[in-house]
Amino acid sequence: MLIRTPKSSEIKENQVTDEHVYQNRRQLLKSMGFLGASALLTNQHASASSWFGGGDDETFKTSALEFSQPKHFQSEDVLTPEQKIISHNNFYEFGTGKADPVTNSQSFKVDPWSLTIDGLVEKPITLGYDDLYKGFDLEERIYRLRCVEAWSMVVPWIGFSLADLIKKANPLSSAKYVVFDTLYDPEQMPGQRNRFSGGGIDYPYVEGLRLDEAMHPLTLMSVGLYGKTLPPQNGAPIRLVVPWKYGFKSIKSVVRIRLTDKKPTTTWEQLAANEYGFYANVNPQVDHPRWTQASERRITTGGLFSRNRIATQMFNGYPEVATLYTNMDLRKNY
């Protein structure tokens, strides 16, 4: 039996499957016998809930990481529980529902992996799977991440500054922007097989930053969370995290980082440029055309009926990035 999900033409990021709905769906699946007790405990397998017709049988194996905890990246915010971070998110390559990524990505292969840094650089680099963990000083950084759909999480990411990686390639002075590509592999990513399964996105998923944004010390290449390597649903083996921007900028499972002199057109701009701009800085004063951005629902430990609505902060509470945008009209450059 399959749970029907909307056609891709009906799907947009505004379809807020907030945690209520998500929890209710799990309750429903449970009452229909899809979720066993252990699956509920680990929140992992929502098998048979997938509209691709089954989901993965295996569970992806993560492994422990060694990392430091620099004081300036810690936080007083209540952390979002690990089980929620890894079971409720967006990764359209694995389906457009909030539980689809965890359901459909468990057999995703991350080793071997290849990440290339090229374009306007003196020294193009290609990193293999082991290089992602060994070539850098890994840090745990607790970041807020706010989705454009107005929910947010607080995540103990593990990773390194993107600047450290870009510097190794020696950028040319002509480089102005950085373009990121997610893996394109329809065999492994069911959302890439046709327009309907992947939310209308023309894959690969592409994101971009201005070079100075990319070089900002907050901009993180993450290889782990909660002390372990990333699970596939969160972008294994390596993904971007830009904590002052809406979540869609934080591109997952990156295979290429290219320096250019032209502003790229990103995936969400291609889909709806009037709704999802290139900058996508978290800004409570600039609403999405169809909903307010002044507040957000923080996902913490709350259960089925918890309400945890808080005011959204400018730049998601990272005022140190404001200098990147002096003299820019953030209403025009949304």
Q: Is 119 or 199 the residue whose CB approaches ligand MTE more closely?
A: 199
Nearer to ligand MTE, 49 or 222 (CB): 222
Question: Binding ligand MTE by CB under 6 A: which of 205, 276, 278, 279?
Answer: 205
- The residue from 247, 280, 281, 318 that contacts Mo ion (CB under 5 A) is 247
User: Are 60 and 107 spatial neighbours (Cβ–Cβ below 8 Å)?
Assistant: yes
145 scored as a contact of ligand MTE (CB under 6 A): yes
- Report the distance separating Cα 196 and Cα 9, nearest Å: 8
**Interface with Mo ion, residue 235, by CB under 5 A:** no
Task: For residue 251, state whether it binds ligand MTE (rule: CB under 6 A).
Answer: yes
**Letter string b/e over residues 1-39, b meaning 16 or more CB atoms within 10 A of that residue's CB:** eebebeebeebbbeeebebbebbebbeebeeeebbeeeb
CB 305 within 8 A of CB 237: no
Residue 234 near which of Mo ion, ligand MTE, none (CB within 5-8 Å, type-dependent): ligand MTE
| Nearer to Mo ion (CB atom), residue 14 or residue 75 | 14
- Compute the chain's Rg from CA coordinates: 19
307: tokens are 């309400």
Strands of 125-128's sheet in order across: 125-128, 114-119, 254-260, 177-182, 206-210
182 part of the interface to ligand MTE, by CB under 6 A: yes
Are the CB atoms for 211 and 257 separated by under 8 Å? no
Q: Specify burial of residue 274 (Cβ count, 10 A radius: 0-12, 13-18, 19+).
A: exposed
182 CA to centre of own chain: 11
Q: How far is the CB of 57 from ligand MTE (least distance, A)?
A: 22
The reply on whether position 93 binds ligand MTE by CB under 6 A is yes
Choose the contact partner of 162 out of Mo ion, ligand MTE, none; CB within 5 to 8 A by kind: none
Site for Mo ion in 72-111 (CB under 5 A): 90
In the complex, minimum distance from the CB of residue 37 to ligand MTE, in angstroms, rounded to a whole number:
26
Q: Is 89 in the site for ligand MTE (CB under 6 A)?
A: yes
Report DSSP letters for 118-140, one per residue: EESBSS-EEEETTHHHHSS--EE
Determine, following the binding rule CB under 6 A, whether residue 92 of this chain makes contact with ligand MTE.
Answer: yes
Please select the residue that binds Mo ion; options are 147, 178, 209, 242, rule is CB under 5 A.
147
* Binding stretches for Mo ion (CB under 5 A): 90, 147, 247-248
* Binding stretches for ligand MTE (CB under 6 A): 89-93, 145, 147, 182, 205, 234-235, 247-248, 250-252
